């Protein structure tokens, strides 16, 4: 393996340094500035000569790990590599002050960067990190937010009850909760047959329209609402509460419209098949927003920014997982819902997904969680 000045580069550098000193000594024999530069060049060459063997040894170890992983090193080699890395970092710091050779500096910068990634870099790949996130990180984050999740659920369903009551009292109130781009022509003037045939049991539009066009629209719309409710937590949570409550009101308004026409059971089957996943995802976004607001208002024993960084990580983990839930909800709502043209089957599907999510968030990633919870409550970063 080549060192920093090995081969033609090394010979060229040595000739350049020697020639430079000879010319300066001959032309300016008594010039103090030139004498100082010649001395500096000599120190640079001596500096490289003494340390180059260690650099080459470190480079060989780094290349070995990059090719085969840390398992290719013995215990003594791993210990030596850490020592050689610290020595190389020290050499780089000194070289920046005395070395006249830019190639040497570039070599040391590259070597220390590669060694840093080997010594301190992540030990797992992308797929392993994703597996760990879904196995432990996401469910633990959700469980740690159970208080905020319960509060945001109360707000959502309170909005749903209010929307239902107001629309049942006067169907014209439907438009207060549901904008035209969401109602898509549905409203107080809709008939039972229109809702049954054009909405609840609408024929399947085909693969492209169902799984590509419509599912993509639903995902983007729901993700926008979820991310807004999460991000607006920085405004002390007030917009988050309003947005979640309003969306609950829209659900209640739709239920009241169908109940007025005797379609309550069919509507519940139509909305629950995807709604279990979709509504839970939106609630998790909202709970994350409330957690951020709570952290800003009540930082606890830690400084506000430090506590926000720590708690914000948990909120972000829940939000990232919620995006996956919204993607799944879009696929179910866009395509599979119309393939199950039976209310009982839709309700059974909804019950199965509810049980699946409940088991996942309650039981997944429980190993070692008790100790992590104690550390979090004591203010120790986990």
Residues in contact with 347: Cβ distance below 8 Å, sequence separation at least 6, in sequence order: 268, 269, 272, 273
Single residue among 92, 120, 148 that ends a domain in this structure: 120
pLDDT for position 43? 64
State both tokens at 191. 């008939």
Asked whether residue 208 falls in the same domain as residue 94, the answer is no
DSSP letter assigned to residue 210: I
Q: Look at residue 78 and tell me if it is in a domain.
A: yes
Residue with tokens 């909120």: 315
Asked whether residue 73 falls in the same domain as residue 93, the answer is yes
Q: Look at residue 2 and tell me if it is in a domain.
A: no
Q: Look at residue 233 and tell me if it is in a domain.
A: yes
- Asked if 337 contacts 269 with a C-beta cutoff of 8 angstroms, the reply is no
pLDDT for position 41? 54
- For residue 216, give the 3-state DSSP assignment: helix
Q: Look at residue 3 and tell me if it is in a domain.
A: no
Q: Look at residue 217 and tell me if it is in a domain.
A: yes
Single residue among 120, 150, 166 that ends a domain in this structure: 120
- Asked if 70 contacts 79 with a C-beta cutoff of 8 angstroms, the reply is no
Asked whether residue 37 falls in the same domain as residue 99, the answer is yes
- For residue 235, give the 3-state DSSP assignment: helix
Residues in contact with 140: Cβ distance below 8 Å, sequence separation at least 6, in sequence order: 365, 369, 372
Find, among 97, 92, 99, the residue nearest to 17 by Cα: 99
Asked whether residue 133 falls in the same domain as residue 100, the answer is no
Q: Look at residue 191 and tell me if it is in a domain.
A: yes
Asked whether residue 83 falls in the same domain as residue 164, the answer is no
- Asked if 272 contacts 350 with a C-beta cutoff of 8 angstroms, the reply is yes
Find, among 235, 328, 245, 215, the residue nearest to 289 by Cα: 235
Query: In whole angstroms, what is the distance from residue 373 CA to residue 173 CA?
Result: 46
Kindly state the helix (H) or strand (E) to which residue 352 belongs, with its residue range. helix 343-363
State both tokens at 350. 């909804």
Q: Look at residue 18 and tell me if it is in a domain.
A: yes
Query: In whole angstroms, what is the distance from residue 298 CA to residue 93 CA?
Result: 43
Determine what percent of the chain falls in helix, strand and coil, rounding each to the nearest 5.
85, 0, 15
Asked whether residue 162 falls in the same domain as residue 79, the answer is no
pLDDT for position 30? 43
As averages over each run of 10 residues, the pLDDT of the chain (382 residues) reads 43 40 37 46 70 90 83 84 89 77 85 86 74 92 94 96 95 91 88 90 77 78 90 91 95 95 94 94 95 90 86 92 93 84 92 96 80 48 44
- Asked if 95 contacts 47 with a C-beta cutoff of 8 angstroms, the reply is yes
Asked whether residue 174 falls in the same domain as residue 235, the answer is yes
Residue with tokens 């790949």: 125
Asked whether residue 154 falls in the same domain as residue 73, the answer is no
* Structural domains of the chain, count: 2
Query: In whole angstroms, what is the distance from residue 218 CA to residue 229 CA?
Result: 17
Kindly state the helix (H) or strand (E) to which residue 224 belongs, with its residue range. helix 215-231
Residue with tokens 């040894």: 57
Asked whether residue 214 falls in the same domain as residue 167, the answer is yes
Query: In whole angstroms, what is the distance from residue 151 CA to residue 145 CA?
Result: 10
Single residue among 77, 94, 120 that ends a domain in this structure: 120
pLDDT for position 381? 43
Using CB atoms within 10 Å of the CB of residue 228, give its burial: 0 to 12 exposed, 13 to 18 middle, 19+ buried: middle
Asked whether residue 162 falls in the same domain as residue 102, the answer is no
Asked whether residue 303 falls in the same domain as residue 191, the answer is yes
Provide DSSP, 80-132. Answer: HHHHHHHHHHHHHHHHHHH---HHHHHHHHHHHHHHHHHHHS-SS-HHHHHHH
Q: According to DSSP H, which parts of 232-334 are helical?
A: 238-260, 264-297, 304-331
Asked whether residue 184 falls in the same domain as residue 255, the answer is yes
Query: In whole angstroms, what is the distance from residue 355 CA to residue 362 CA?
Result: 10
- Asked if 159 contacts 249 with a C-beta cutoff of 8 angstroms, the reply is yes
Q: How far is CA 242 from CA 173, 246, 286, in A?
A: 18, 6, 10
Task: Tell me the residue range of the domain where 37 lies.
Answer: 8-120
| Exposure b/e, 7-18, CB count within 10 A at least 16 = b | eebbeebeeebe
Count CB-CB contacts under 10 A for residue 374: 11
Q: Look at residue 147 and tell me if it is in a domain.
A: yes
């Amino acid at each position: 393996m080549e060192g920093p000045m090995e081969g033609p580069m090394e010979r060229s550098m040595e000739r350049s340094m020697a020639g430079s000193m000879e010319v300066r000594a001959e032309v300016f024999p008594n010039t103090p500035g030139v004498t100082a530069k010649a001395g500096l060049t000599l120190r640079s060459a001596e500096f490289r000569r003494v340390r180059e063997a260690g650099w080459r040894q470190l480079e060989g170890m780094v290349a070995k790990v990059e090719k085969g992983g840390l398992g290719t090193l013995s215990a003594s080699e791993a210990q030596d590599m850490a020592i050689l890395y610290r020595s190389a970092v020290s050499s780089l710091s000194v070289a920046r002050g005395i070395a006249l050779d830019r190639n040497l500096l570039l070599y040391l910068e590259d070597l220390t960067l590669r060694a840093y990634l080997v010594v301190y870099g992540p030990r797992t790949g992308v797929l392993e990190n994703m597996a760990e996130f879904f196995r432990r990180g996401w469910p633990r984050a959700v469980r740690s937010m159970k208080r905020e999740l319960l509060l945001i659920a109360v707000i959502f369903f309170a909005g749903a009850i209010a929307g239902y009551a107001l629309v049942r009292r006067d169907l014209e109130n439907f438009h207060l909760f549901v904008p035209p781009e969401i109602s898509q022509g549905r409203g107080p003037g809709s008939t039972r047959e229109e809702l049954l045939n054009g909405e609840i049991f609408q024929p399947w539009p085909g693969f492209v329209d169902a799984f590509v066009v419509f599912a993509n629209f639903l995902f983007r719309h729901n993700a926008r609402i979820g991310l807004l409710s999460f991000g607006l937590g920085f405004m002390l949570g007030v917009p988050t509460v309003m947005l979640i409550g309003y969306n609950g009101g829209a659900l209640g308004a739709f239920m009241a419209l169908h109940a007025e026409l005797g379609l309550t059971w069919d509507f519940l089957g139509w909305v629950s098949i995807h709604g279990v996943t979709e509504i839970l995802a939106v609630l998790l976004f909202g709970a994350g927003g409330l957690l951020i607001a709570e952290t800003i208002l009540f930082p606890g024993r830690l400084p506000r920014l430090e506590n926000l960084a720590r708690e914000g990580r948990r909120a972000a983990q829940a939000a990232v997982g919620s995006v996956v839930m919204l993607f799944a909800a879009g696929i179910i709502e866009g395509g599979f819902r119309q393939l199950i043209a039976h209310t009982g089957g839709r309700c059974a599907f909804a019950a199965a997904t509810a049980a699946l999510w409940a088991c996942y968030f309650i039981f997944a990633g429980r190993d070692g969680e008790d100790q992590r919870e104690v550390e979090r409550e004591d203010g120790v970063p986990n």
